[in-house]
Amino acid sequence: MSIATALISGDEASPQLAEAAVRAALDKAGLASAESVLLFLTPDFARHAQLAVTAAARAASSLQVGGGIAAGVFTEEGWVLDRPAAAAMVFGGGIALSAADDSENTAADNSTRSLLSYTASAFVADWKEHPARFGGSFCGAGGGFEPVVWQGSRICASRRCSLAFSGARVDLGVSSGLRLLAPAQIIDLVCAYDIEEIGGRSALLSLLRALPDALQSAWYASSSPEHLPLPLHHLCAVLIDDSAGGDTQAALAEGRFRPVPIVAVNADDSLTLAERAHPGQRIAWAMREPDTGIADMRRTLARLAAAASEPLAALAFSCIGRGPYFYGGDDEDRALLVKRFPGMPLLGVYGTGQLAPGCDGDNRSLHNCVVTATLSRTKGSTDVQSHA
């Protein structure tokens, strides 16, 4: 076996946890040393991350250790949130990760690569263009510390890392878990991040008319409208690509959309989104529910299985709002991955953002999604499929 993972948790965030995770993964892979290592740690390690990374590099006999701090971590063995934990994936047998220079994004040798990219800040503007990228971010953790990332076994001052695979093909799938509430409509009026009018009515009325009857009734029965009885964390706006035509469901199936969180409902019945929209753009309202998420993840994994029936390993970048907290105590997305590819090494993280290429060729910052990458041995170039 050329790739293996291990998940180790404990009561204290000590370098020994990271070292133990790497050693356990090496044992499972039958390797004395690793060509490279992916290591993700929970926020408990943030203040002393370099010590943990150094311990991992020493245990692997490799200076190619990449990764970062995440809200939580998981492997095929289980998941950990709210306590110190280290998750490691070791690579050998000719499959490895190497640092990719962000300044060479337009270079010919990078044009067909799929870069694993991770950041401890918001979406990096430079990452929107080629080459294709997948990964995630963890920022805004609070608690008096700043999340960090590392590559080459060193903390990155830029708070970002970009890693390229050699000896492996990457296939990508994105599960949004969305259920459309109504067909898309045209945005009429926008002010900065506020959507004011849609289809000839206020943005709030447009949303309310799309909601299920029970949620509509809760809103109109509320005696304190300023305390909105709407589950904004389960609702989102869906901005449709112009090239998708008038079929909203087709746009979702083809990945020609961008889910955008609803940040606030305003006194003038406008809605504040996390990203800018513009007049003339098509917008739909959608809801995230556990049953919808499970069904969408199954479809995503079926597409990945068709692209690579026997992958060597997988990486998954899930939203902190899409894991055990969303599914009532267990991570159903992780469980589906393990069931679809039994025995496959899996390394995953829970973060605040996800990154994947869209159908238009640009990389996109996503929320409340699961980005899954399967790794397969290849002698050719990287093959990337995306449904962002």
Q: In this structure, is residue 15 part of a structural domain?
A: yes
Q: Output the CA–CA distances (angstroms, integers) from residue 364 to 100, 126, 257, 341, in the order listed.
A: 19, 11, 10, 27
pLDDT at 110: 43
Q: Is 297 helix (H, G, I), strand (E, B) or coil?
A: helix
Instruction: Answer with the one of 288, 313, 342 that is the final residue of a domain.
Output: 288
Are residues 24 and 80 part of one domain?
yes
Number of domains in the chain: 2
Angle of helix 203-210 relative to helix 213-221, nearest 10 degrees, comes to 130
pLDDT at 1: 72
The structure's pTM equals 0.87
The tokens for 290 are 């556990």
Are residues 162 and 150 part of one domain?
yes
Are residues 258 and 166 part of one domain?
no
Whole-angstrom distance, CA of residue 280 vs CA of residue 356: 26
pLDDT at 226: 52
Whole-angstrom distance, CA of residue 222 vs CA of residue 195: 23
Whole-angstrom distance, CA of residue 236 vs CA of residue 361: 23
Count of helices and strands (H, E) across the chain: 8, 26
Are residues 137 and 238 part of one domain?
no
Mean pLDDT (10-residue bins), the chain, 388 residues: 94 97 97 97 94 98 96 97 97 92 46 81 84 90 73 94 93 91 94 96 94 80 57 85 66 76 91 93 92 94 92 96 92 97 97 86 86 84 41
The tokens for 48 are 């002393």
Q: In this structure, is residue 326 part of a structural domain?
A: yes
CA 328 to chain centre: 20
Q: In this structure, is residue 387 part of a structural domain?
A: no
Q: Is 235 helix (H, G, I), strand (E, B) or coil?
A: strand
Classify 11 in phi/psi space as left (phi over 0), alpha (psi -120 to 50) or beta: alpha
Are residues 23 and 60 part of one domain?
yes
Q: Output the CA–CA distances (angstroms, integers) from residue 242 to 61, 106, 248, in the order listed.
A: 51, 26, 11
The tokens for 33 are 């040393």
pLDDT at 365: 87
Instruction: Answer with the one of 243, 272, 288 that is the final residue of a domain.
Output: 288
CA 333 to chain centre: 12
pLDDT at 335: 98
Largest CA distance in the chain: 66
Are residues 304 and 156 part of one domain?
yes
Are residues 16 and 125 part of one domain?
yes
CA 149 to chain centre: 16
Whole-angstrom distance, CA of residue 87 vs CA of residue 4: 11
Instruction: Answer with the one of 234, 256, 288 that is the final residue of a domain.
Output: 288
Are residues 85 and 183 part of one domain?
no
Q: In this structure, is residue 385 part of a structural domain?
A: no
Q: In this structure, is residue 370 part of a structural domain?
A: yes
Nearest to residue 42, comparing CAs of 12, 20, 5, 22?
A: 12
Are residues 270 and 203 part of one domain?
yes
Instruction: Let me know: does 153 contact 358? Beta carbons within 8 Å.
Output: no
Q: Is 322 helix (H, G, I), strand (E, B) or coil?
A: coil
Instruction: Let me know: does 319 contact 370? Beta carbons within 8 Å.
Output: yes
Instruction: Let me know: does 2 contact 35? Beta carbons within 8 Å.
Output: no
Q: In this structure, is residue 37 part of a structural domain?
A: yes
Are residues 82 and 42 part of one domain?
yes
Give pLDDT tens digits for 145-181. Answer: 678 999 999 999 999 999 999 999 999 999 988 888 9
Are residues 266 and 232 part of one domain?
yes
Whole-angstrom distance, CA of residue 355 vs CA of residue 196: 29
CA 42 to chain centre: 16
State the residue range of the domain holding 220. 178-288
Q: In this structure, is residue 386 part of a structural domain?
A: no
The tokens for 333 are 């997305």
Q: In this structure, is residue 383 part of a structural domain?
A: no
Are residues 202 and 250 part of one domain?
yes
